[in-house]
Amino acid sequence: MIVYEGLKENFLKSCENDSIAIEIEENVLNKLGRHTPKAEFRSWENSLNYMYKVMNDSEIPMDAGVAIEYSIPQTSKRVDFIVSGYDNNNEPNVVIVELKQWDKISVVEGADALVETYVGGSNHRVVHPSYQAWSYAQLIYDYNSSVQDGNVKLHPCACLHNYIRHADDPLDSEWYSDYLEEAPAYTKGQLEDLRNFIKKSVKKGDKKEVLYFIENGKIRPSKSLQNLIGSMLKGNREFIMIDEQKVAYEEILRLSEQCQKDFRKRTIVVKGGPGTGKTVIAINLLAELTQRDQLVQYVSKNSAPRQVYLKKLKGLMKKSSIDNLFKGSGSYTEVAENMAHTLLVDEAHRLNEKSGMFHNLGENQIKEIIKAAYCSVFFIDESQRVTMDDIGSIAEIEKWAKEEGSELHYLELQSQFRCNGSDGYLAWLDNVLNIRETANYDLEGIDYDIRICDSPNEMRNLIIEKNRKTNSSRILAGYCWEWVKNEQNNTNYHDIKIGDFGMSWNLGNGEPFAVSETSINEVGCIHTSQGLEFDYVGVIIGDDMRYEKGKVVTDFTKRAKTDQSLKGIKGLYKENPLEAQRRADEIIKNTYRTLMSRGMKGCYIYCTDKGMKEYLKERLEKCK
């Protein structure tokens, strides 16, 4: 959908009459049904008055098309400014301009395409404007049949009209060179350069014809995208399915394809514990359904799984259009109904009610995901809900599926492929941590290396040795130590100190914790490890879980103040102490259960509480 469209002459007149922002505001209300915040209105006034100066050139045809706030179909993304027309060979061309009012940025080294800048009242990490412009152009090409069939040439760029560029400017850092080459960034004083960029492609006016083609293009993944993700998956041993994974995969394929034939909504709940192959199935479905002409996306609340599996697919490739196949769970608050063919929701137990940076957007993520797709697939393990905000449950999915008129289907993955082929270790964990009574009181017949260490240094040395061969062993900890924000990129600052042992939390920059070769020197938390697996894990159990008077107890007061997973627990405790303790007990035990089940071959544990250490040692001794 295009919020505002017209010819260049219409745009210039509206700017001269000081009415352009008002016209857009009215169109947003009429077409999108929402009111425009004052800050957004002011940004239109500032940026579009600058674009008035850019477009006020006789060599840019007066009948060239102009579109403002183009909502890319099947997404919640909007392109700021588009100029359309024909080149000298009468080929359709579109210039995409991403407008920014930033005046300063900082480089985020090691993180692909990220910068830090002041937005929304404070500094935040956001994507580089050239990456944003390039990704929007790629998204339009990858899914718009009119652009593909009509050979419409897309030319993205970024315009930071308040930004004063200097020599060796962070905007031009080598980290962003690939994206700057695809989508040049123009700053204050480069108005003429931006004009020339537009004039190079738009030689003749199109009277909005090209805009019409784009607006009415059918949604279809391009052959290049289909071939790309297919080739990435082919031969990648990490994503080979076995036994019942393949059975579940084929059933989901069948149901998803049925949705495209009868246009009925279907919701599939796939229940499975740690390591049962939920993500393997999801990634294979992502590739196969894309190759079957579906718009399909892999969705997760936590960014860590998205980053890791995207990197594993891309390998050394830096920029790739498959980036757009991986989405956060808050991406569907403003999208149209049935905008996607299939949404694959991994770690569905981590879904939240509200979305956005301040948890103030949307109504309910589960509802929005089901509404947004003909087929929604939720991979879930209710025993892995680890924060107060986690609402993902089978009952919640059923509730919203029924409200949206969606058929419900259930699949379950029984076998345990992590922990060397046995679910006995998980049953033992549940029993030992007093999570639930299970039949497994010992580890008889289970080929799994579990040790209780007397010191954190002993645990660290074991993990470092295991990590040498495959870079697939990590140290994890409960959130009992503050994460000092000002030191989050300093590996020499030790957040976690236990006697002569000191390590930093996983750094805020660089590659994802699960794959970075330097992560062996850092400690990961639940947020950087959930949904992922390693060969071996070392787990530090803090004072939030102890063994006292013959039972395992939890203590939310020992959690770090910077821990957001128990945000609101103190207020709940004042109102309802029993419910607060129940919630905290569930979250803390689920957290350690999840951390202790990240290793496929072994888990080495250190407890800050002596009673907990002796208890675990005693339970292990009984297994021998």
DSSP string, 21-46: HHHHHHHIIIII--PPPHHHHHHHHH
> 20 and 81 in one domain?
yes
pLDDT at 50: 97
pLDDT at 27: 93
| DSSP secondary structure code for residue 165 in this structure | P
pLDDT at 275: 82
> 487 and 612 in one domain?
yes
> 493 and 568 in one domain?
yes
pLDDT at 130 over 70: yes
pLDDT at 109: 82
pLDDT tier for residue 236 given thresholds of 50, 70 and 90: confident
Parallel, antiparallel or unpaired: strands 153-160 and 185-187: parallel
pLDDT tens by residue, 310-340: 988 887 677 778 888 999 999 999 888 999 9
Alpha carbons within 13 angstroms on the beta-carbon side of residue 417 total 19
Nearest to 404 by CA among 327, 325, 343: 343
From 380, 413, 446, give the residue that closes a domain: 413
From 195, 215, 235, give the residue that closes a domain: 215
The token duo for 242 is 């076995």
The total number of structural domains that make up the chain: 3
pTM summary value: 0.88
> 425 and 407 in one domain?
no
> 449 and 364 in one domain?
no
> 161 and 32 in one domain?
yes
- Cβ neighbors of 425 (< 8 A, separation 6 or more) are 416, 419, 443, 446, 448, 450, 597
Average pLDDT, rounded, for the chain: 93
> 110 and 33 in one domain?
yes
> 583 and 439 in one domain?
yes
Choice between 322 and 496, residue whose per-residue pLDDT is larger = 496
Q: What is the CATH number of the domain that holds 58?
A: 3.40.1350.10
pLDDT at 440: 57
Mean pLDDT (whole number) for 538-552: 97
> 382 and 311 in one domain?
yes
Which of 330-334, 372-376, 443-447, 502-506 is least confident? 443-447
Which residues constitute the domain of residue 442?
418-621
pLDDT at 251: 97
pLDDT at 358: 79
Burial 105-115 (b: 16+ CB within 10 A, else e): bebbeebbbbb
> 297 and 441 in one domain?
no
> 491 and 435 in one domain?
yes
Nearest to 540 by CA among 591, 583, 586: 591
pLDDT at 439: 66
pLDDT tens by residue, 149-193: 999 999 999 999 999 999 999 999 999 999 999 999 999 999 999
List the beta bridge partners of residue 153. 93
Mean pLDDT (whole number) for 509-534: 91
pLDDT at 617 over 80: yes
pLDDT at 283: 95
